[in-house]
């Protein structure tokens, strides 16, 4: 069975985490979704690019989550989430493109 690319997992974690928090009205539940996807992506980043790639991309994932909040005040919640998710997906692809499905 083919593995879902880390770029998709990471973007899905950012979008999915926000969606879960918004629709359930339980922010901690959204955080669980965000963290679970981040852990899966970090493991894939480590397999694809080693510790340096995993640490760097995990930091970018967390920074994107943080950046989405002030960005949402300027452009709206969903556009901010999609923007940071796309940015993380692009970074993930750029770092792991030779080995990531």
pLDDT digits (tens, 9 = 90+) for 34-79: 999 999 999 999 999 999 999 999 999 999 999 999 999 999 999 9
Residue 19 has pLDDT above 70, yes or no: yes
Distance CA 30, CA 16 (A): 8
> For 31-35, what is the mean pLDDT?
98
State residue 2 phi and psi, 5-degree precision.
-70, 145
Residue 1 has pLDDT above 90, yes or no: no
What b/e sequence results for 76-100 when a residue is b if at least 16 CB atoms lie within 10 Å of its CB, and e otherwise?
eeeebbbbbbebbbebbbebbeeeb
Whose tokens are 């950012």? That residue is 14
What's the whole-model pTM score?
0.91
Question: Using CB atoms within 10 A of its CB, is residue 64 exposed (0-12), middle (13-18) or buried (19+)?
Answer: buried
């Amino acid at each position: 069975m083919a593995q879902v690319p880390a770029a998709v997992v990471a973007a899905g974690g950012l979008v999915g985490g926000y969606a879960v928090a918004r629709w359930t009205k339980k922010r901690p539940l959204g955080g669980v979704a965000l963290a679970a996807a981040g852990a899966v992506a970090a493991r894939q980043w480590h397999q694809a690019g080693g510790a340096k790639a995993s640490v760097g991309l995990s930091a970018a994932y967390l920074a994107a989550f943080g950046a989405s909040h002030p960005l949402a005040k300027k452009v709206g919640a969903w556009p901010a989430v999609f923007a940071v998710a796309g940015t993380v997906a692009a970074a993930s692809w750029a770092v792991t493109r030779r080995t990531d499905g």
